[in-house]
Amino acid sequence: MSRTKIVKAKDPMQAVDALYAAGPSGTTVAAAQSRLRAALRAQAPQVYYDVLPRSTLGAVYLAAGPDGLLAVGLATNEPGFVRRVARRTGAMPVRSTERLRHARQQVDEYLRGKRSAMQIDVDLSQVTPFQRAVLEAARRIPRGTVITYGEMAARLRRPRAGRAVGQALAHNPVPILVPCHRVVSSGGELRGYLGDRIGLKARLLKLEGVPMLGNRCRIAGRSGAGR
């Protein structure tokens, strides 16, 4: 009598599991991760940030890249500031007290009225040429004085560009350092600062000794507050 060997056929999926279930070895994963980290490091320029937690303007966030300070955040919070800097620079900023120590100290002293000028490199490479011209012009306005949007447009030899000047200043990435707060509307009225934070603009101007009357200030060379 012949004996029949009955073998239960294996589920073919077992062969698939044998190949796929275990996954890559720890060494293979570690090598791939190490290559990934190197690729990411090479890709992103390093940007650092820190915060001056309690200033007269509230928390002031500062971010700097290799070429200088590239963002100042007022009336914001840490995630909001980090997201904004990342969007603009394409690099995820890393918090570093050490790298921002110099800038933070100067901004702190300035806002406490203990310093009248700051020596901090500013990186304006991320803005358009017109905006850069406007921001550079704003940097030349001396502390304690204000000019109007129209006057700034005239200085830039674009007398009809008052509104565009206003827009360029409204998107100033480095307020305080580029003193866009020293530019006001024709009547001396403080219009627009980081949206509607007129109070911050007034505080900065007061700090710099600009005579204020409510939300109006005296424009150099004119008599009386406002009109």
Partner 1 sequence: MPDPTFEALVERHSAEIYAYLWRLLGDPELASDCLQDTFLRALRAFPRLRHHEHLRAWLYTIAMHRARTLLRQRARHESRQRELTDELADPHASVGQRVAERETRRRVRAAVGRLPPRQREALILRRYQGLSYAEIAAIAGGTAAAARTNVHLAQERLRIWLRPEVGDAV
Select from 1, 2, 3, 7 the one that contacts partner 1 (CB under 8 A): 7
When asked if residue 25 is in the footprint of partner 1 (CB under 8 A), the reply is: yes
**Tokens 């570093």 -> residue:** 96
Task: Determine the size of the site formed for partner 1 (CB under 8 A).
Answer: 39
In 10 A of CB 30, how many CB atoms? 11
Q: What one-letter code names the amino acid at 86?
A: A
When asked if residue 39 is in the footprint of partner 1 (CB under 8 A), the reply is: yes
CB of 64 to partner 1, least distance (A): 17
**Tokens 């991760």 -> residue:** 33
Q: Measured from the CB atom, is 28 or 56 closer to partner 1?
A: 28
Q: What tokens does 214 get?
A: 């409510």
Stretch that binds partner 1, among 3-11, 124-132, 163-171, 174-182 (CB under 8 A): 3-11
- Partners of 95 in beta bridges: 49
Q: What is the DSSP letter of 63?
A: E
* Catalytic residue ranges: 180
Binders in 75-104 for partner 1, by CB under 8 A: 78-79, 82-83, 86-87, 90, 92, 94
Select from 1, 3, 23, 157 the one that contacts partner 1 (CB under 8 A): 23
Q: Which of 185, 180, 219, 218 is nearest to 201 (CA)?
A: 180
Whether the CB-CB separation of 138 and 181 falls below 8 Å is answered with no
When asked if residue 19 is in the footprint of partner 1 (CB under 8 A), the reply is: yes
Residue 85's Cβ-count burial label (10 Å; 0-12, 13-18, 19+) is buried
- Rounded-to-integer distance, Cα 11 and Cα 27, Å: 31
Stretch that binds partner 1, among 5-13, 149-157, 161-169, 208-216 (CB under 8 A): 5-13
When asked if residue 35 is in the footprint of partner 1 (CB under 8 A), the reply is: yes
Residues that bind partner 1 (CB under 8 A): 5, 7, 9-13, 15-25, 28-29, 31-33, 35-37, 39-40, 43-44, 78-79, 82-83, 86-87, 90, 92, 94
